[in-house]
Each structure stands twice: as C-alpha cells, then as structure tokens.
Structure 1
Amino acid sequence: MSKHKKEHHEEHVDESWLIPYADLLTLLLALFIILFAMSNMDAKKYDILMHSLNSAFTGGTGQFQVSNVVPMNIAPNVDSKKYDAPATHAPEQQAMAAQLHKEERELEELKKQLDAYIEQNQLTTQLDTKLTHDRLMVTIRDRALFESGSAALKDESRKLALAISDMLAQYPGYEVQVAGFTDNVPITNGEFSDNWELSSTRAVNFMRLLLANQSVDPSLFSSTGYGEYHALESNDTAEGRAVNRRVEVSVIRNVKPAAGGA
C-alpha cells in the first residue's frame, strides 16, 4: 500500500476588513474632534480647523470620501452672521494692516532722520528719541530750550524747532502732542504761580515754534503741562531733577499694533 503524504496548506485569516475598519476609526476620531471644537471655538477658529481637516482628509488615500460624511463648509450651531464676519470684514482688516505697515515704515524713517540730526549737531546729551507701540517720542532736556525757571525759549532752540517741524511736515496726518514737565522744586521768581503753569507755558511756547512752519497742520497739534507729577527719575538728586525737566514731542500713531509690538 502506497503512502500518500498529506499536503498541509496554511490557512490565512482574511484581514481585508482592517482597511475599512481603520478608516471608520479615523472618521470617528475626526467627528469627535469636530464636535469638541464646535462646543469650544468661535466661528473663526472653527473655519481654520475645518480647512485643516478638509485638506488632510481629502488629500489622503482612505476608502471613504470624508466630504460625503461630514460637511466641511457648514458649521452647525454657529450663527451664520458671526460665521460670515471674517469674510465681510476682510477688506477692512487688509486696509488696516496696510495702514499699520505704512505708519511703521514712516515713523521708523522719521526716527532715523531725527537721530541723524541729533548726532550731526552733537545733541545726544540733550535730545533722544523712542519709538513705542503708540507713538514716536522726542525728549528734549529743558536746558536745550530754556533758562532755569523760565519759559522764554533760547535763540538756538528756534533752529531745533524748525528742524523738527521740517521733518514732521514730511509725514503729514499724524497727531502731534507737545508736553512740558518740571522737577518738584517750587517756583520762587514770581513769574509763574507753580510748576503747572511753568510746564504748560513751556509746552505752548515750543509748540508755537513748531507751528511757525506753514507746512504743518495746526489742527493736529496740542500742548499739555504735567508739572512735577510724571517724573522719570527721583527728584532727590540734582541729576534726577535735570532729567525730569523736559519737553516731549510725541507723534501719535493712527493705527496701533498689538501690545508687544514696537
């Protein structure tokens, strides 16, 4: 009797079900993410999330078309007016961004001109500039403009005022604020009743010199006196009091960047 060898065939488990199963799990995960996002996000953030998910899924190789299961263009339970707001205000936001960029560039250019003038005329100990999130500020020590306790401008201060106003005229449309400050030493010369009056008069007098330039717009200028109450340094020392006696010329931004900007 001949012996026949039994042929043994390895049985393979049909694993084709894993592909649709994996796709189903992926869709469920996406659904839960979307539901969570809808409960915690505003329309703008929802739109960003939808766009990201849509790009991810429609560019994949899964068995199912995600766009047939979860609509990507409609945000359920989101107020349509609120949802449409970003598109509606897009031109306005673009215009504001363009204006912000323009002002940033112009104020940086103006600061460079002022710094160059200060350097060329050896005024670094008397003037300095600072660009902040809301203004470009030129600080002028009082000794560059006035005698002690006086609001009468020195002759050389007229040259300075003319130079500053000429530079301001190159960048029209900005509000310009001129502010006067003193130390806390009481006025004793009888010309002014107190430091409030002295600081205010100094600010007005310097502003008038700036306005002598016919190329600037007087309606954009204003002056304020702060007296002794906005000190930069302690008034306990002569050096500190000298820093506190000053005039500030501020060019105000029309569009202010977010906090933390320049």
Structure 2
Amino acid sequence: MAKRPKRHAQHEEHMDESWLIPYADLLTLLLALFIVLFASSEMDAKKFDQMVRSFNVAMNGGVGVLDQPSPVPLDPMLQQQTLHKGAQEAEKTEEERKLEEAIRKETEDLKKLQTQLEGYIQSNQLQDKLQTKLTDEGLLITILDNALFDSGKADLKPEARKLAAEMAVMLVPHPKKVTVTGHTDNVPINRVEFPSNWDLSVKRSVNFLKVLLENNNLDPTKFSATGVGEYHPVADNKDAAGRAKNRRVEVAILRDLASPPNNSMNHTNP
C-alpha cells in the first residue's frame, strides 16, 4: 500500500498585539482625566458624586499591565470639605449676582430721576445754574448760589422756592437719604447774622432743606443739612468766575447700595 504523503503543518502568521494592553490603559487614564476636568469646571454636590463614580469606574474597570485594578481611595473627610467649599462658593456667587442686579436697578432708578431733573433744567433754561452728576455715591445736584440767594443772604428767592418745590415732587418716588450742603467762596463775611462763611453756608443749606420738606410726602428722617463754608472749593478763588462756582448748594441723593468702581453710567449735565 502506498504511503500517504505527510501533510505539512500550516502556520498562520499572527501580529503581535501585546501593545494593545498599555494602549488601553492610556486611553482609560485619559478618559478619567477628562472626566475630572469636566466635573471640576462647575462643582456641586451632584456633579462631584458623578465625578467620583465615573473616576472609580474608569480606574477600577480597566485592566492594568499587571492585570490588577487601580482603585484610588477617596478620603471621606476630604470629600465632605470639598462639597462644603463648593456649596459656599455657589452661595457666594448667587449673592454676588443678586447684589449686582440690585445695584443695576438702583442705578437705573437714579438715572430716571436725573433725566427728570435735566428736563426741568432745560425747559427753564437753567443749564448755567444747575448741574447733575451720577457718581458712585449717588446723584449729585449742584445749584449755584445766584439761582437761590441774593449776595450775602440766606433767604431763598421766589424762583428758588419754586425750584425746591419741583425737586421735592421728583424726590417723592425715590425714598433715599438726601444731604443738602452749603458752600461759599473764601471772601470773609462779618455780619451780625453771619459772623463767618460757616454760618452763611449752614443757614443756606437749612433754608433750602426746609422748603424741600414742605412737601409732606417726604420723610424728614432721611434728610440732613450741613455747611462747610469755603473749605471744599471746586474752582480757584483767585478770580470772580472761580468764586462764583464755589458759592453753591449741593443736594446729594445717596445710594442704598455701594456702586461698582468705574460706573459706566456716570454722567454730567454740561
């Protein structure tokens, strides 16, 4: 009987795939890194818990080079501290957002009052005697003394009383603190009624305040008057034009909230 020919063993060529193991480990670590970065971008209790679970799954679910899991134990105390800190930051951010919104609304409210006053100034052609300015402290109204008083006197002119009455009506919808401050130039005054510029500035501010408060809809507890004499000038007292600018009454409607620095709504009526 003829012998059957020997069948040669067939050898299949296989690629070395051992590189897949460290490659898979690398992908697992990258996935865990992206999960941590995403979760830490906006931390709260829910996302923190999701991050921990995802991180543990990523780290424990893969098989390392030594075919052993790689768990990362999480300190319960550290987790609690992190959650507490995240909650505090979230609460602080919410409070800041509410404060910014309140400041914005207050600024808009003062801006509306300023627009009313500027309309009155223009309709009565008082641009050279009254000015308004919105500042970090509030709305400042500057009235030159020749619009209110005769030289060296503290009694309001009839037209000044009308101005004060109109201003009082505008202030009613804005129940804020209001200060009235009298200023003079540096020319000495020595009269029986006004021994000094201090006395004149105080009397002028008080008289203007009294006319404002003739409006019974205003709350007197929110108003105050003071005089600073010649000691807060806005111009040089060396010439008549500068002294005229320094003789003034300032009415300040104060903010209830602190305004942010560099308020973009600051405005001066030229």
State the TM-score bracket (shorter-chain normalisation).
0.7 to 0.9
Q: What corresponds to 1:160 in structure 2?
A: 163
SS at match of 2:117: helix
Deviation at 1:15, TM superposition (A): 4.8
How many Å separate the matches in 2 of 1:25 and 1:123?
Answer: 71
Q: What corresponds to 2:268 in structure 1?
A: none
How many Å separate the matches in 2 of 1:14 and 1:79?
Answer: 40
Q: What corresponds to 2:7 in structure 1?
A: none
In structure 1, the gaps of 5 or more residues are 1-8, 34-45
- Structure showing greater Rg: 2
User: Structure 1 residues 48 and 24 mapped into 2: Cα distance closer, same or farther (>3 Å)?
Assistant: closer
How many Å separate the matches in 1 of 2:31 and 2:238?
Answer: 71
Indicate if the aligned counterparts of 1:100 and 1:256 stay in contact, CA closer than 8 A: yes
Aligned length: 236
Q: Deviations over 1:43-82 (max 9, x none)?
A: xxx976647xx79x97xxx9x748x9697x9965948766
How many Å separate the matches in 2 of 1:247 and 1:217?
Answer: 21
Cα RMSD for the two superposed structures: 3.9
How many Å separate the matches in 1 of 2:253 and 2:79?
Answer: 47
Deviation at 1:260, TM superposition (A): 2.1
User: Structure 1 residues 79 and 257 mapped into 2: Cα distance closer, same or farther (>3 Å)?
Assistant: farther
Q: What corresponds to 1:135 in structure 2?
A: 138
How many Å separate the matches in 2 of 1:23 and 1:186?
Answer: 86
SS at match of 2:231: coil
Q: What corresponds to 1:194 in structure 2?
A: 196
How many Å separate the matches in 2 of 1:147 and 1:117?
Answer: 22
User: Structure 1 residues 236 and 26 mapped into 2: Cα distance closer, same or farther (>3 Å)?
Assistant: farther
Q: What corresponds to 2:104 in structure 1?
A: 101
Indicate if the aligned counterparts of 1:179 and 1:249 stay in contact, CA closer than 8 A: yes
TM-score, structure 2 length as denominator? 0.72
Deviates more, 1:119-128 or 1:251-260: 251-260
- Letter of the 2:201 partner, please give it: S
2:23 to 12, 15, 18: 18
How many Å separate the matches in 2 of 1:189 and 1:234?
Answer: 25
Q: What corresponds to 1:151 in structure 2?
A: 154
SS at match of 1:179: strand
Indicate if the aligned counterparts of 2:106 and 2:255 stay in contact, CA closer than 8 A: yes
Indicate if the aligned counterparts of 2:167 and 2:212 stay in contact, CA closer than 8 A: yes
Q: What corresponds to 1:39 in structure 2?
A: none
User: Structure 1 residues 85 and 236 mapped into 2: Cα distance closer, same or farther (>3 Å)?
Assistant: same
Percent of matched pairs sharing the same residue: 38
SS at match of 2:161: helix
Q: What corresponds to 1:169 in structure 2?
A: 172
- Letter of the 2:104 partner, please give it: H
Q: What corresponds to 2:62 in structure 1?
A: none
User: Structure 1 residues 125 and 49 mapped into 2: Cα distance closer, same or farther (>3 Å)?
Assistant: same
In structure 2, the gaps of 5 or more residues are 1-12, 60-70, 266-270
User: Structure 1 residues 219 and 21 mapped into 2: Cα distance closer, same or farther (>3 Å)?
Assistant: same
Q: What corresponds to 1:110 in structure 2?
A: 113
How many Å separate the matches in 1 of 2:85 and 2:43?
Answer: 16
Indicate if the aligned counterparts of 1:149 and 1:189 stay in contact, CA closer than 8 A: no
- Letter of the 1:127 partner, please give it: L
